[in-house]
Amino acid sequence: MTYCLGIKIRDGLIGLSDGRITSGSQVSVARKVTLLGSGGDRFFIMTSGLRSVRDKTLAYLRRERSRPDAKPFETMLDAVTAFSDCLRQVTAEDKDALAASKLAFNLHAIIGGRLPGDTEPTMFLVYPEGNWIEVDERTPYLSIGATAYGKPILDRALSHDTPMQTALKIAYLSFDSSRYSSADVGFPVDLVTYSNADRTWREAQYDYDDLVEQRQWWNKHITKLATELPDSPWADRLLTPRNIVTAAE
């Protein structure tokens, strides 16, 4: 399992992926986000699923891009189509062998970026079958892996107009909720951003100790907010002495 999150807002793109790899009782770390291209014309690929399927699909994509007659991708649609073609090729080669070993062929991918022919950055979610959907302004994020725990704060707090700095904080809190509740999600966490203002990509990796202040602040204040939540008649009916029923009654 893993947790990968892609966000598209007015200011640009955010990609977040955890670094924990689990296989049975074994735990290791590995980077799950890959940046391809150069300069401002780049795109990221984040994946959840079998690591072997991921690595082989990316190897095929790189091989296709390195051929002497290969042309650079003009748009993100070209990039996601090429990735899907490579994924289908791996499916044809490996699905039956994996099934014979009782392993489900499983790879979900989030692909986002901006290429020369694109008027704006965009992002896609690719399914194991190679089909895909595109991010929508009304739901400006895509997530894969252990998605249930980090989804509530995204749905409540994130919109297309959320500033980049705030969106980064929401992305971290979404990851932290997933990490806290799922043993298969953990540090290090990799982050990539694309800014529309200067068409620049930036990336960084953070470990557990790097985000102590943010984690402690959130734990403290979420408890404080629960304490300060306005009282309500529905709670009073459950707490006032007149509603206590004794065994004799």
When pLDDT is cut at 50, 70 and 90, the band that residue 245 belongs to is low
For the chain, the residue count is: 249
Is 249 contained in some domain? no
For residues 153-184, b (16+ Cβ closer than 10 Å) or e, as one string?
bbeeebebebebeebbbbbbbbbbbbbeebeb
As a whole-number percent, the residues of the chain with pLDDT over 70 amount to 94
Is 123 contained in some domain? yes
Classify 61 as helix, strand or coil. helix
pLDDT for residue 249: 52
Q: Tell me the mean pLDDT in the region 66-73.
A: 93
Is 248 contained in some domain? no
The CATH number for 220's domain is: 3.60.20.10
Which conformational region is residue 143 in: left (phi greater than 0), alpha (psi within -120 to 50 degrees), or beta? Answer: beta
Is 190 contained in some domain? yes
Q: Which tens digit of pLDDT belongs to each residue from 15-57?
A: 999 998 765 556 677 889 999 998 889 999 999 999 999 999 9
Domain count, the chain: 1
Residue from 239, 6, 1, 23 nearest 122 by CA: 6
pTM of the model: 0.91
Q: Which tens digit of pLDDT belongs to each residue from 114-136?
A: 999 999 999 999 999 999 999 99
Is 21 contained in some domain? yes
Distance CA 249, CA 245 (A): 6
Range of the domain at 149: 3-243
More confident: 83 or 234: 83
Is 98 contained in some domain? yes
